[in-house]
Structure 1
């Protein structure tokens, strides 16, 4: 399986690191994501209305992750209040019993973050705002080259 569970200690450490990196205060009524520049924010509210958007987003975002990583490189997939993982975007992507990634690309009720191991770039899903924030030049450029329908302006 390509999704490698992180230990509780690793997960806690990573969430503290994420909170500092993107200035996010989970649980706060004013929880907002403020990633390092450059970043772009996309409204993904349409993604909650159809499966076609989700499949396209998974495929195109996976291509973007692949273009930003080496073949043996792993990245973090973090799902707030759920299991968090290391995964390799170049390996086959296993899906759960619902036919979805264990950590969804489009936030489906929880904050879902995909972050490069050195925190140079990432994708931050905010379910409350129904947005995805892409930060870091490499990932922004990769998304611009082949944007999912949901992220096209």
Structure 2
């Protein structure tokens, strides 16, 4: 089984339409417009401006571990890369090609539970990562990546 299953055109459209609506998503490179999304449930946003290259490997490992903690072994989540191919992703299966990374290096990278109850939102220009949903927030508090700096926003 593949852990990166491309979304169909219809799935892509429906999921992005839902994300734009539910999160009032307004992508922007201008800081006066940030945050670019409004998270309707508990969230924490971390600054990721100060890191070293080794921190990216740590981020990848801890994200996979934390996503495994909140998903079943046969469960897929959405892996979204703004204006690029998007996928159903299973963090339990061997990561053979790492199609979307967890460090937002030029685009918005989002990993979302299919019901949008929790998620991981990477903002490339603000250089921040937002974690939402108590279950996932707890996992990241317990197993925090070294890249996560100060909390820049939270509604907890």
* 8 Å contact kept, 2:48–2:129: yes
2:142 is matched with 145
Q: Paired residue for 1:67? A: 69
1:94 positional shift:
1.9
Counterpart mapping for 1:34-73 below 5 A: 34-47=38-51, 50-73=52-75
Deviation, structure 1 residue 150: 1.0
Q: Greater relative contact order: 1 or 2 (C-alpha under 8 angstroms, separation 6 or more)? A: 2
- In the other structure, the counterpart of 2:153 is none
Q: How far does the alpha carbon of each residue in 1:84-130 deviate from its partner, in whole angstroms, 9 at most, with x for none?
A: 000111111122xxxxx211211010011000111100001111101
Q: Show CA shifts across 1:70-89 (max 9, x none).
A: 11110000000111000111
Per mean C-alpha deviation after superposition, the further-off stretch among 22-31 and 67-76 is: 22-31
Where does 1:2-151 land on structure 2 (aligned, <5 Å)? 2-26=3-27, 30=33, 32-47=36-51, 50-95=52-97, 101-151=98-148
TM-score w.r.t. length of structure 2: 0.87
Higher helix share: 1
* TM-score, scaled relative to structure 1: 0.89
**How large is the Cα RMSD of the aligned pairs?**
1.6
Distance in 1 between residues matched to 2:37 and 2:50, nearest whole Å? 20
Segments of 5+ residues of structure 1 without an aligned counterpart are: 96-100
1:43-68 Cα deviation digits (max 9, x unpaired): 11224xx3311110010011110000
**Distance in 2, Cα, partners of 1:87 & 1:27:** 26
Question: How far off its partner does 1:152 sit?
Answer: 5.3
Compute the displacement of 1:132 (Å).
0.4
